[in-house]
């Protein structure tokens, strides 16, 4: 058996914690033999929740943390003041080598700050982007950055492209993944100052498969494997993606339940429709990793369910076993 991958989970983070974080952890250790989870949070609360499940006691351990960083708290101040919070304690476990990875559905701001300040960046990495997988007609694409670096520069976007290439090659098994930059048109001369400055840098980068610009409407079709942008644009794309998916599900359900005829039709296509729509569920991919850090930091949705938490934990196993950090470090070292 391979060496255990140790994941520190912020048990108190998210809208539905600790129920979904505990259940996600239990489900994760049941699926993976090479996993140990540390549930970091208020001990009595986590113990009570955990008592409802049957699990291997050696695979889950509670780490007491008396404080909780709330969603609305200023992240820098919260990280500094709440040293005994579940987020800070879990981050320091990664920093001290007690855990290989960190997962949280809690404060995005505190996770981003903690990732940069507590876990720290790999040598040569200028910025650490959030990089979620998003569903497409062809499978999935990596959106990088979706929330960590609103004011990124051109050299940051080039590094994002390289880190995204490493991720898609090793996690998704895509050989020589295609890379595109988000733009308002396909022509090279279009775009804002950042895109115009970055485009030729990506074009002349020998170790990525750059195919040019991609418009937002072409992202769901899977025109590129790695989609590069700064965080403001990426976050708008991600939130729009989620909103359209939710609205589309509502419209489909309403149409299928509209009359006796459509209800009969719904029964006939129920299984096939469910299978097709499941391919567009964000839950299956887990959370968004912060690439380029010394340890793995994964941020999942605040409204995450137990399935998303489980998959966020399981993706840490693949990330660690595939030595993604080492490969990113080697790629950036070549550049430097």
Residue 1 has pLDDT above 60, yes or no: no
Closest CA to 20 of 281, 301, 279: 301
Percent of the chain past pLDDT 70, that is, above it, reads: 96
Whole-number pLDDT of residue 184:
94
Element (H, E) at 113: helix 108-114
Q: Considering the chain, what is the average pLDDT of its residues?
A: 91
Q: What is the mean pLDDT of residues 296-321?
A: 93
Residues 22 and 222: their CA atoms lie apart, in Å, by 34
> Quick one: 131-283 is in which CATH superfamily?
Isopropylmalate Dehydrogenase (3.40.718.10)
Structure tokens at 289: 């990793």
Average pLDDT over residues 216-234: 96
**Tokens 């850090």 map to which residue?**
293
Whether pLDDT at 135 is above 80: yes
Beta strands in the chain (DSSP E): 5-10, 35-41, 60-64, 101-104, 133-136, 139-144, 178-182, 209-214, 226-228, 288-290, 296-299
Report the sign of the C-alpha dihedral through residues 92, 147, 132, 65, in that order. Answer: positive
pLDDT per residue as tens digits for the range 23-50: 999 999 999 999 999 999 999 999 999 9
pTM of this prediction?
0.89
pLDDT digits (tens, 9 = 90+) for 70-83: 988 999 999 999 99
Is the confidence at residue 336, as pLDDT, over 70? no
Out of 190-194, 248-252, 319-323, least confident range: 248-252
Q: Exposure string (b/e) for 275-308, b if CB count within 10 Å is 16 or more?
A: eeeeebebbebbbbbbbbbbbbbbbbbbebbbbb
User: Would the pLDDT of 310 be above 90?
Assistant: yes
Question: Residue 279's pLDDT band (boundaries 50, 70, 90)?
Answer: low
pLDDT band of residue 289 (cuts 50, 70, 90) is very high
What local confidence, expressed as pLDDT, does residue 272 receive? 76
Q: Quote the tokens at residue 253.
A: 């359900």
| CATH 3.40.718.10 domain span(s) along the chain | 1-125+292-335, 131-283
1-125+292-335 in CATH: which number? 3.40.718.10
Report the half-sphere exposure of 135 (CA within 13 A, side-chain side): 15
pLDDT at 283 over 70: no
Angle between helix 324-335 and helix 154-170 axes, rounded to 10 deg = 140
Task: Report whether 238 contacts 143 (CB < 8 A).
Answer: yes
Per-residue pLDDT of 89-126, as tens digits, reads 999 999 999 999 999 999 999 999 999 999 999 999 99
pLDDT surpassing 80 at residue 275: no
The tally of CA atoms less than 13 A away on the side-chain side of residue 335 is 25
Identify the burial level of 267 via C-beta atoms within 10 angstroms of its C-beta, where 0-12 means exposed, 13-18 middle and 19 or more buried.
Answer: exposed
Strand intervals (E) in 70-137:
101-104, 133-136
Residue 257 banded pLDDT, cuts 50, 70, 90? confident
| Confidence (pLDDT) at 209 | 97
**What are the pLDDT digits (tens) for 148-204?**
888 999 999 999 999 999 999 999 999 999 999 999 998 888 899 999 999 999 999
Does the structure show a pLDDT above 80 at 235? yes
Does residue 155 or residue 248 have the better pLDDT?
A: 155
The residue among 248 and 167 whose pLDDT is bigger is 167
């Amino acid at each position: 058996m391979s060496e255990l991958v140790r994941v520190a989970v912020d048990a108190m983070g998210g809208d539905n914690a600790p129920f979904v974080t505990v259940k996600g952890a239990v489900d994760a250790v049941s699926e993976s033999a090479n996993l140990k989870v540390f549930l970091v949070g208020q001990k009595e609360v986590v113990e009570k929740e955990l008592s409802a499940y049957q699990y291997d006691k050696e695979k889950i351990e509670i780490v007491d943390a008396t404080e909780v960083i709330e969603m609305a708290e200023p992240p820098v101040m919260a990280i500094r003041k709440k040293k005994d919070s579940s987020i800070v304690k879990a981050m320091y476990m990664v920093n001290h080598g007690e855990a290989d990875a960190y997962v949280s559905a809690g404060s995005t701001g505190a996770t981003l700050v903690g990732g940069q300040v507590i876990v720290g960046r790999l040598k040569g990495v200028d910025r650490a982007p959030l990089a979620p997988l998003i569903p497409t007609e062809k499978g999935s694409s990596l959106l990088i950055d979706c929330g960590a670096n609103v004011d990124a520069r051109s050299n940051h976007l080039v590094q994002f492209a390289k880190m995204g290439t490493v991720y898609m090659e090793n996690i998704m098994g895509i050989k020589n993944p295609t890379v595109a930059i988000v733009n308002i048109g396909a022509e090279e001369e279009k775009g804002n100052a950042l895109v115009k400055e970055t485009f030729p840098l990506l074009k002349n980068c020998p170790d990525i498969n750059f195919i040019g610009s991609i418009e937002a409407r072409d992202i769901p079709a899977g025109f590129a494997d790695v989609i590069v942008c700064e965080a403001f644009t990426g976050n708008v794309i991600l939130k729009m993606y989620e909103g359209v998916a939710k609205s589309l599900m509502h419209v489909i359900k309403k149409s299928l339940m509209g009359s006796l005829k459509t209800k009969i039709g719904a029964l006939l296509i129920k299984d096939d429709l469910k299978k097709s729509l499941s391919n567009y569920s964000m839950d299956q991919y887990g959370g968004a990793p912060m690439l380029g850090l010394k340890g793995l930091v994964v941020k999942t949705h605040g409204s995450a369910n137990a399935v998303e938490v489980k998959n966020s934990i399981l993706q840490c196993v693949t990330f660690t076993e595939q030595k993604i950090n080492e490969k990113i470090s080697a790629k950036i070292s070549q550049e430097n």
